[in-house]
A = this chain, B = another copy of it.
Amino acid sequence: MMQDHLVVSDDSNHPANMVCSLSRQFYEKEWCVGTGGSIAIRDEETGFCYLAPSGVQKELLKPQDLFVLDGNSKEQDVYLRKPAGLKLSDCTPIFQMLFQNFNAGAIIHTHSPNAVLTSLLYDDVFEISHIEQIKALPSERVNAETGKPVNLLFEDTLKIPIIDNQNFEYELTDGLQEMCQKWPHGCAVLVRRHGIFVWGPSITKAKIYNESIDYLLGLAIKMHQLGIPTVKKN
């Protein structure tokens, strides 16, 4: 069941190519070293989900290494493609939950050092306000016409919930789902002493959210070191 045609494409924007090129880029940022981290993309047109395997050096990922799951099926585990000799990511139940219940088009999971450090500086929620870059992230408000979330304003406060880590990644699924229900327009959850999950309606949005959040987490750590609160009192 190799089904290579599902993952081999000349188009650099094909989900299989995007998983690989972004994994390489994230490795360079030290977000995915030592086989850590994972990316999953649901193709909007076909509903097929492309998943990185477990325990593989992310900077060396090839399209042929990817699992493809039928995202249209009601059943959880209908695989259209299973690469020989590779294991599914432990994050797969989390990815499926986000695809099915929260309309995610793509999910990025990293071990970003900024995420790990921030999770040690805040209790239940990371908060930052009055920084221009938060305008790249969705708010809890929706556009009256489209029903889609609008982005944060400069004076808003970005909030990202933090959940405690578990021994196995699949054990994080319930905790993440609970946070998604509590923050229905959120796009990220920090996992204490572990890293972060970021998602969006498309891989482009998820990537923009992820790098904007990492920029803000890095800034927050430096503000902490300089004694500057990350939420500004008006």
Interface centre among A30, A133, A136, A207 (most CB of B within 10 A): A133
Min CB gap A46→B, angstroms: 23
Judged by a CB distance under 8 angstroms, whether A88 is at the interface is no
CB proximity to B under 8 Å, residues A181-229: 191, 193-195, 204, 207-209, 211-212, 214-215, 218-219, 221-226, 228
Interface size class of A (residues with CB under 8 A): 35 or more
Min CB gap A65→B, angstroms: 14
**Are B132 and A33 in touch, CB under 8 angstroms?**
no
**Closest 8 CB pairs between A and B?**
A34-B212, A132-B194, A34-B136, A33-B211, A34-B208, A130-B193, A154-B167, A33-B215
Identify 13 new A-B residue pairs, CB closer than 8 A, beyond the known A33-B212, A225-B225.
A30-B215, A34-B209, A36-B212, A57-B208, A113-B215, A113-B218, A116-B131, A117-B226, A121-B226, A132-B193, A155-B167, A221-B226, A224-B226
